């Protein structure tokens, strides 16, 4: 009987301990789940490099770095004098070829002259297209991030004339620790704020989570934080009114 009396309190103690342990784990998990995941970074835009198609001197820059542009806006004007001369030469070739058709006195000569006309017209079309390359326009709405060449410098085929950040594709990258990674998912919403518009809140959505950990970037303030392994989380930020610009510091809170 005494043995049974000893066993019953022991069982009750174990049950009580297990129950308390479960309650404690539940409370910790709830607290962890309710903790906000916050991060800071810089607003960035998907960049578009606009290159030169021809060799020509830069005559005029219509915008400066940081300016907003619309699709079709003229960004840069190149010297087109050589290109205009090439168009004139090509047009003269068309005129000569047409004259040869009129002067042909046999069918064979006429057919040969007509072939020359087609070739001359093709050369003219190419020259006209190249002349159009002297005016550089923006293919998208966005912000001028950089203009590598100045007025008076020479643009060469393939050289970058302007870098445009697409205003429709603004991103913010924050860094999340491994312990918090399980509470982050693609498609998750975020609230984004910037100092320039402290009274406004922008809506964002996670579009990418890094598959590999990295050390916290060097611009983080403390050495201890920089030594931590983190995962980059990319947030696409909605900016329908075009208020945000690349380079703006921003804070994000994941919902």
Cα–Cα distance for residue pair 39/51, rounded to 1 Å: 36
Contacts of 95 (CB under 8 A, 6+ apart): none
E strand spans, the chain: 37-51, 56-61, 68-69, 74-78, 135-137, 142-146, 154-155, 160-177, 189-194, 202-209, 214-215, 229-237, 249-254
Per-residue pLDDT at 188: 95
Per-residue pLDDT at 238: 92
Q: What backbone phi and psi angles, to 5 degrees, belong to 157?
A: -55, 125
Residue-range domain boundaries for the chain: 36-46+166-254, 80-133
The domain made up of 36-46+166-254 is a member of CATH 3.30.360.10 = no
**CB-side exposure of 227: number of CA atoms within 13 Å?**
3
- pLDDT tens digits in sequence order for the chain, 255 residues long: 444 545 555 555 555 544 444 433 333 333 344 578 999 999 998 889 999 999 999 999 999 998 989 999 999 999 999 999 999 999 999 999 999 999 988 989 999 999 999 999 999 999 999 999 999 999 999 889 999 999 999 999 999 999 999 887 899 999 998 888 889 999 999 999 999 898 999 999 999 999 888 876 655 544 445 447 889 999 999 988 888 888 899 999 998
Per-residue pLDDT at 55: 94
Contacts of 159 (CB under 8 A, 6+ apart): 51, 52, 148, 149
């Amino acid at each position: 009987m005494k043995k049974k009396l000893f066993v019953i309190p022991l069982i009750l103690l174990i049950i009580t301990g297990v129950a308390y342990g479960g309650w404690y784990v539940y409370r910790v998990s709830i607290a962890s789940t309710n903790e906000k995941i916050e991060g800071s970074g810089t607003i960035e835009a998907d960049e578009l490099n606009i290159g030169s198609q021809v060799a020509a001197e830069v005559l005029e820059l219509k915008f400066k770095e940081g300016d907003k542009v619309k699709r079709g806006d003229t960004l840069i004007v190149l010297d087109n004098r050589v290109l205009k001369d090439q168009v004139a030469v090509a047009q003269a070739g068309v005129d000569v070829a047409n004259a040869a058709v009129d002067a042909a006195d046999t069918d064979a000569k006429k057919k040969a002259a007509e072939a020359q006309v087609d070739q001359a017209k093709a050369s003219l079309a190419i020259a006209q297209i190249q002349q159009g390359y002297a005016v550089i326009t923006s293919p998208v709405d966005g912000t001028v991030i950089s203009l590598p060449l100045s007025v008076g410098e020479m643009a060469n085929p393939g050289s970058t004339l302007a870098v445009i950040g697409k205003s429709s594709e603004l991103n913010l990258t924050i860094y999340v620790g491994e312990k918090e990674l399980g509470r982050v998912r693609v498609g998750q919403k975020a609230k984004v704020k910037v100092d320039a518009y402290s009274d406004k809140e922008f809506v964002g959505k996670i579009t990418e989570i890094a598959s590999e950990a990295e050390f916290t970037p060097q611009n983080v303030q403390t050495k201890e934080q920089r030594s931590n392994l983190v995962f980059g989380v990319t947030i696409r930020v909605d900016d329908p009114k075009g208020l945000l610009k690349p380079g703006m510091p921003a804070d994000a809170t994941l919902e």
